[in-house]
């Protein structure tokens, strides 16, 4: 009977509460204090890491508030041609294109105004690109049409975009309230001049401020990285092109260009040259990337490499991460310093992007990643963001002004190189009586 009474008393007591601690059922056992302390330390570490991530991102955004982030290459204008045949009256760049076809279903689409603003882009070189298939055909006409659509797009959004051709224009757009995105034009491929110095000069007058000497095809005067070399450097006409670009104040771009032509252009150019969207060959041995010896000569020239985000150039593989991209920046900085590097995302021109750099909205995350490494000071990141490119542009403008002051005349070439396939007329050689 006493046993039964005790049992009944125990049954009358409320059940002992089982303790659930962060997902673990402790039952009636006491939790080891060491276990609790370990879990608390882990939680504190996670919270602290998240706090540091937020702090780094805020510092990154502050950097981009102060300095115009200048990207060297975006292919949105070519996508406008592909998708819309350059008909932009009904095109709404100021909407979220991730929900608008055909942009939403294209792997090549990474750009719209909302994302540019989120990415804090301060200045963008828009590419006036036409394919190599147009060489010796209608390259000049199509290039003019691409220049036209860029300028029309800028005019359509005067509160968001400002056409720019100089350092002064970029700084003016960045200091405007509300801030505007300075919009510059670069031509991607020397085939666009159709072997004519007069066409080159005309492009400058229309606002073009850099030209890539080649795209994926050789021209009669320069070699591409994509084809077997023919010029093995620069021909006499090719040298005239570089000198005339110096005289005009047009930046020489060496992305896509063969190594010997690249070396010849760096030796010849009186102004700094750039790689608007290339990465490091030693980290990914792709022919589009820049070997170490050229990186060193680029420092002597005063130019910059604007790192490309395409995974094939970053990792020589279909996939890459934001950390993989950061390694290219680190490598260049360790080799020649933080004054010779910039950003050339190549958005809208590639069909794969790194995880963490999915579109133009993600530039602040890139700067936060560089901060996380502990290898960059705030001033160095300001240089990377835009000050390096502004320095290059100032020097290009200075060389232009000095050449004009010294009376350097425009280059001439009575017999510009012509390929047999050129649709040309010899009418101007006709003797009139």
Residue numbers annotated as active site? 73, 75, 188, 215, 256, 277, 346
How many Å is the Cα radius of gyration of the chain? 28
User: Of the candidates 219, 209, 202, 212, which has an alpha carbon nearest to the alpha carbon of residue 141?
Assistant: 202
Residue the block writes with tokens 């590419």: 127
The answer to whether residues 70 and 77 touch, using CB atoms and an 8 Å cutoff, is no
What 3 state SS string does 222-254 have? ECECCCCCCCCCECHHHHHHHHHHHHHCCEEEC
∠ Cα 389 395 399 (to 5°): 145
- Spatial distance between the Cα atoms of 343 and 304, rounded to a whole number of angstroms: 9
Tell me whether strands 251-253 and 208-212 are parallel, antiparallel or unpaired.
Answer: parallel
Q: Which helix (H) or strand (E) holds 83?
A: helix 76-84
C-beta atoms surrounding 68 within 10 Å: 26
């Amino acid at each position: 009977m006493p046993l039964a009474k005790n049992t009944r008393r125990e049954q009358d007591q409320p059940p002992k509460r089982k303790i659930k601690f962060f997902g673990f059922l402790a039952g009636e056992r006491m939790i080891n204090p060491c276990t609790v302390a370990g879990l608390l330390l882990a939680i504190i570490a996670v919270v602290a890491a998240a706090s540091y991530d937020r702090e780094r991102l805020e510092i990154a955004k502050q950097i981009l508030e102060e300095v115009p982030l200048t990207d060297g290459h975006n292919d949105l204008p070519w996508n406008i041609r592909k998708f819309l045949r350059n008909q932009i009256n009904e095109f709404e760049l100021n909407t979220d294109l991730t929900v608008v076809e055909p942009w939403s279903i294209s792997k090549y689409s990474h750009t719209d105004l909302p994302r540019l603003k989120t990415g804090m882009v301060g200045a963008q070189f828009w590419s006036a690109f036409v394919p190599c298939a147009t060489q010796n055909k209608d390259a000049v006409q199509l290039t003019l049409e691409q220049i036209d659509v860029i300028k029309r797009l800028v005019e359509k959004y005067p509160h968001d975009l400002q056409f720019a051709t100089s350092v002064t224009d970029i700084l003016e757009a960045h200091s405007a309230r509300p801030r505007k995105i300075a919009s510059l034009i670069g031509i991607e491929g020397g085939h666009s001049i159709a072997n004519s110095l007069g066409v080159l000069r005309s492009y400058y007058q229309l606002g073009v401020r850099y030209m890539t000497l080649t795209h994926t095809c050789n021209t009669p005067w320069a070699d591409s990285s994509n084809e077997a070399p023919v010029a093995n450097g620069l021909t006499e006409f090719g040298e005239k092109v570089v000198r005339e670009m110096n005289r005009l104040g047009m930046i020489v771009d060496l992305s896509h260009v063969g190594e010997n032509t690249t070396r010849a252009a760096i030796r010849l150019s009186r102004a700094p040259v750039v790689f608007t969207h290339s990465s490091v060959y030693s980290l990914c041995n792709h022919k589009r990337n820049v070997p170490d010896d050229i990186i060193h000569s680029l420092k002597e020239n005063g130019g910059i490499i604007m790192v490309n985000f395409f995974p094939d150039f970053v990792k020589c593989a279909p996939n890459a991460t934001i950390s993989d991209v950061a390694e290219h920046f680190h490598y260049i900085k360790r080799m020649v310093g933080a004054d010779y590097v910039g950003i050339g995302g190549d958005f809208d021109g590639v069909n794969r992007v790194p995880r963490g750099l999915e579109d133009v909205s993600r530039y602040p995350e890139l700067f936060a990643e560089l901060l996380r490494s502990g290898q960059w000071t705030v001033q160095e990141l300001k240089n990377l963001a835009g000050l390096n490119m502004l320095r290059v542009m100032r020097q290009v403008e200075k060389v232009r002004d000095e050449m004009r002051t010294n009376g350097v005349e425009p280059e001439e070439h009575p017999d510009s190189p012509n390929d047999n396939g050129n649709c040309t007329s010899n009418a101007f050689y006709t003797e009139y009586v």
